[in-house]
Chains A and B, each alone.
Chain A
Amino acid sequence: MVDSKVVLTGQTLAYTLYCIVIILLVAWFAIKVTGKGKVLAVKPAIFYTFVGFLTVLGVSLHLITFNTIPWAKMDLNRSDYKPDKTFVIKVKDHQFIMPSEKLVINVNDKVLFDVQSEDLTYGFGLFRNDNSMMFQMQVVPGHRNDLLWQFDRVGVYTIRSTEYSGPKGVFMILKDAVQVIPTNTTN
């Protein structure tokens, strides 16, 4: 599965390019609307073309991401997959209660994180060493909070609550709690 960092890079490029274009467009409009010249009326055809473009863009964005972002399909249909490993993690009193000190995962394993809150609403996210986010989900008490993820490379990850649960929740961090290792090296 493609690393989420690659998806973020693509998004950054696309949005930055869009921002540059729209800022230049408004600047161009500001110059032109105050400048002298022949007044040309905006034809309705241009307007309807623009509306059509927005419609196509709005719908196609989600179709494209659904078919290109690898975890999107797996996430929506996660009950159809059989995980290679399942980790049940409990959260209570602003503490993650882990099944073991370190969660060890083989590369390319599909892993199900089943996180259960016993009091407040929390978040559950995995972060790389450079603090960038791998993924996250909400952890709502009284409901099933499960996330299926396939790890495509070796690495060490930190668990952090990604939802505000009061000032006490800010430091809900388990450093290097998840380790992804090459296949056939675990017991």
Chain B
Amino acid sequence: MSFIKTFMNGEEGLFKSETLTPMQKLTLRFVVVGLFYFGFVVIEGMLMRLYEVKPLPFITEPQFFAILTAHPLVGIFGSTYSIVFGAFLFLVPYLMKKPLWSIKLGNWTFILVAVGTFIFWFAGFVSHYAPLYTLYWPLPADFTQFSVWGGTFFIVGIALVMVGSAFFVINIFKTITFTPDGWEKQPSKALLASALGITGFRNLFTKNKKEHLVPLPVAAVARGSVDVALNTVIILFTGVLILVFMIAAIMGIDLKSTAIDALLYKNWFWWGLDLIADGLVLIFVAGTWYLLAMMISGKPLFMQNIARAALLVELVVSWTVWSHHLLSDQAQPAILKVLSGEMVTAFELITQGLAFFITLATLWSARPLKMTNPLKFLLGGLLGFALAVPAGIMQADVGLNRILHNTQWVIGPHVHVAILVGLTMTLYSAIYLLFPILTNGAKLYSQKLANIHFWCHLIGGIGMGAFMGMAGLKGMLRRSLYVNGEFNLMMILAAICGTLLLIGFLAFFYNIVMSVGVKGVIDIFLPSKVKGKNLLPE
């Protein structure tokens, strides 16, 4: 087959977009947009990395900080939320062996997340609104530094993403509990109790143990979705609060920013933000590891009941760890620093270590396994969290935080290794595994490109985190600029690793386009010719 033919129609013309069900199309749309935004984030990251070495003439300082503000939000919402929501809106009904409650609502989630992300990114790009994602009060309402109109559109964009997230949560819980047309009445309360872990908790104290009605990965999605819902409430409330100040400013009224207590706001905001970082990410990832391990090995999960219980513990832990972000706030009560900041946070070492062990033990039970793309990326994802979680536990220490807080250590070995290596490689594993299922048997264009993708991503991700961490240990701050080349050696090495990440992503993107063809990519966004709510063609 010629290059042009493959480029247009995909590898061996095997991808037949007309056979895709509405559900397959919905999921693929989420994945394509998620990967598009991931490409955005990689390019933005590279621009900032180069700027840290030497300021670029076409980027002003306010523009740099606008990129710094949008970068994590595009990564979390535009990329990760899109891929995760798309995957779970397919997997929950797939595992429950029933249709999605509402494809229409799923499409709205897709539109709101995609459009909302573009709006806040564009608002930041045009107006340089840059209070950073932490929004430490009263910075988001400091209109001497930021445009009030830019900020208004920025917050509206975030709000749209949050509404889309709320729709996702509703769809997930309704799918678990609803009775499809023509089915026998489903025990919705019992299904909900099983999904949330209430059944498992009751089983601990009773002799008449009830069976688990939902599969373990669905329980993980449900518990992670609780954190998505709580986070949505917090971010929406915060957005409305900031909007009040912005609309007042537009109307010429200067509201007193000291009416809001800065430390209380910080506690409130970090409680909500940690529902993502220390909540839904860890719970979703653990659930995805379990699902991948079972699908790759074809074996039941090792220590399944413990794994279920750990997911519930992780949910409760995620509500009580926020204070590790305030260990350097001297007005924060010491009891909160020690209990929430240190002790409860240390539980994440246990819950995540447990998930690591259970996944490896499940894979081990099926050896010898073939080193497929899903397996190698899953191992990469496991390694990422094995490196990043202990780095986080170290900085969540009253003593060490005094010399680590806000340094590149926090954002390098902890955040970037967790997200780029741990989370993203887990998502890639799921994408490689689901690719033939979602495309009705399309063939991957090149295994060599998949290998390049794997090694570039793994080495680039770990290397970048490591060099950022080394700079942090030498005193380099995050969210700052060093114009005299103080940390150039580490930043150049981190930029080289960032380039590897970019090469890996381009190899993957090219591989996928050549696998399904340009026509196939375009067709994904057109209405499905297959009618009905079936997940896969009959």
Contacts and interface: CB of A to CB of B under 8 A. Distances in A.
Contacts of B397: 61-62, 65
Q: Which of B65, B477, B481 has the most CB of A within 10 A?
A: B477
Contacts of B360: 29
Contact of B328 (A29, A137, A142): A137
A164 interface: yes
Contacts of B139: 120-121, 164-166
Interface in A106-123: 119-121, 123
Contact of B367 (A39, A134, A162): A39
B407 A133 contact: yes
Interface stretch (B1-9, B10-18, B186-194, B386-394): B386-394
A137 B330 contact: yes
B331 interface: yes
B40 interface: no
Contacts of B487: 131
Contact of B262 (A7, A15, A121, A131): A121
Interface stretch (A52-60, A81-89, A96-104, A176-184): A52-60
Contacts of A54: 349-350, 353-354
A61 B394 CA distance: 8
Contacts of B387: 19, 22-23
A167 B62 contact: yes
A141 B138 contact: yes
Contact of A138 (B62, B145, B330): B330
A22 B417 CA distance: 14
B182 to A, nearest CB: 43
A119 B349 contact: no
Interface string B458-499: 000000001000000111110111000011000000000000
Contacts of A167: 61-62, 64-65, 130, 145
Interface stretch (B115-123, B203-211, B223-231, B334-342): B334-342
B346 A140 contact: no
Interface in B238-270: 258, 261-263, 266
Given A34-B367, A51-B354, A57-B349, A146 B142 contact: no
A154 interface: no
Contacts of B170: none
Nearest to A36: B368
Contact of A34 (B262, B326, B371, B474): B371
A131 B399 contact: no
Interface string A44-77: 1001001100110111011001101101100110
A145 interface: yes
Contacts of B329: 137-138, 140, 143, 145
A165 B487 CA distance: 22
B386 to A, nearest CB: 5
Nearest to B466: A19
Nearest to A127: B475
A79 to B, nearest CB: 10
Given A58-B350, A62-B343, A145-B330, A76 B338 contact: yes
Contact of B475 (A62, A66, A133): A133
Contacts of A12: 473
B237 interface: no
Given A50-B353, A166-B145, A135 B403 contact: yes
B376 A65 contact: no
Chain B interface category by residue count: 35 or more
A123 B400 contact: no
Contact of A62 (B131, B331, B342, B364): B342
B399 A8 contact: no
Contact of A162 (B337, B350, B393, B477): B477
B361 A47 contact: yes
A153 interface: no
A4 B406 contact: no
Contacts of B61: 167, 170
Interface string B356-368: 0110110111011
Nearest to B477: A162
B395 to A, nearest CB: 10
Contacts of B455: none
Nearest to A133: B475
B370 interface: yes
Interface string B263-287: 1001000000000000000000000
22 contacts: A8-B403, A8-B473, A15-B391, A33-B375, A35-B368, A44-B303, A47-B361, A76-B338, A120-B142, A125-B477, A130-B474, A131-B476, A133-B407, A138-B330, A140-B329, A141-B262, A142-B262, A145-B331, A160-B477, A162-B477, A163-B479, A166-B142
Given A62-B342, A72-B399, A166-B139, 11 more contacts: A19-B466, A22-B387, A26-B386, A50-B354, A51-B354, A57-B349, A58-B347, A61-B394, A123-B328, A136-B403, A164-B134
Interface of B: 61-62, 64-65, 130-132, 134, 136-139, 142, 145-146, 258, 261-263, 266, 302-303, 306, 326, 328-331, 334, 337-338, 342-343, 346-347, 349-350, 353-354, 357-358, 360-361, 363-365, 367-371, 375-376, 379, 382-383, 386-387, 390-391, 393-394, 397-400, 402-403, 405-407, 413, 466, 473-477, 479-481, 486-487
Q: Which 3 A-B pairs give the minimum distances between C-beta atoms?
A: A69-B399, A58-B346, A72-B399
